[in-house]
Amino acid sequence: MSKIVAIVGRPNVGKSTFYNRLIGERQAIIDNVSGVTRDRIYGTCEWNGKSFTVVDTGGFVKNSSDVFESAIRSQVQIAIEEAAVIVFITDVTTGITDLDEEVANLLRRANTPIILCVNKVDNHTREISANEFWSLGFEETYFLSSISGSGTGEVLDAITEKL
């Protein structure tokens, strides 16, 4: 199997939207209400002549914060174990949340290269707000809009550089 690129982050940040952009199919299930994605979904992506497997994590069933926290934690642990590169997605419209901080703390301890993506940066005003995410301390921080696709090419370049 090709190298794994795992997409992690709390619900509703746009993991599945980003995944769909990489895979080019409406394969992940996007739920506008709860951001629920069914299970872990794998797909193949090719960029800059490299082929890799992308994993969309999710699988959150209940809208209970306890379930979310433990489920996110276990998805992040699996990603740390199996992925060659981890893409950590956050959402500019909510700013940095406690769950983002928690995920960031888990990822900082890993040896896997981490690419922080601030998603939903759809316009210039949001680009200014997105700067707060540099405070999470990830050297590789990218602003993107998974809905329009702007910024996703740079993220793909960063991914393939590390494979």
Catalog residues that contact Mg ion under the rule CB under 5 A: 15-16, 37, 58
* Residue 104 burial (10 A CB sphere; 0-12, 13-18, 19+): buried
Binders in 118-137 for ligand GDP, by CB under 6 A? 119-120, 122
* Residue 47 burial (10 A CB sphere; 0-12, 13-18, 19+): middle
Q: Are strands 50-56 and 41-47 parallel, antiparallel or unpaired?
A: antiparallel
CB of 122 to Mg ion, least distance (A): 18
Interacting partner of 67 out of Mg ion, ligand GDP, none (Cβ under 5 to 8 A depending on kind): none
> How many residues contact ligand GDP, by CB under 6 A?
19
- From 19, 34, 54, select the one nearest 146 (Cα to Cα): 19
- From 136, 157, 120, select the one nearest 22 (Cα to Cα): 157
CB of 49 to ligand GDP, least distance (A): 27
Pick 122 or 127: Cβ nearer ligand GDP? 122
Q: Which residues bind ligand GDP (CB under 6 A)?
A: 9, 11-17, 30, 32, 35, 37, 58, 119-120, 122, 145-147
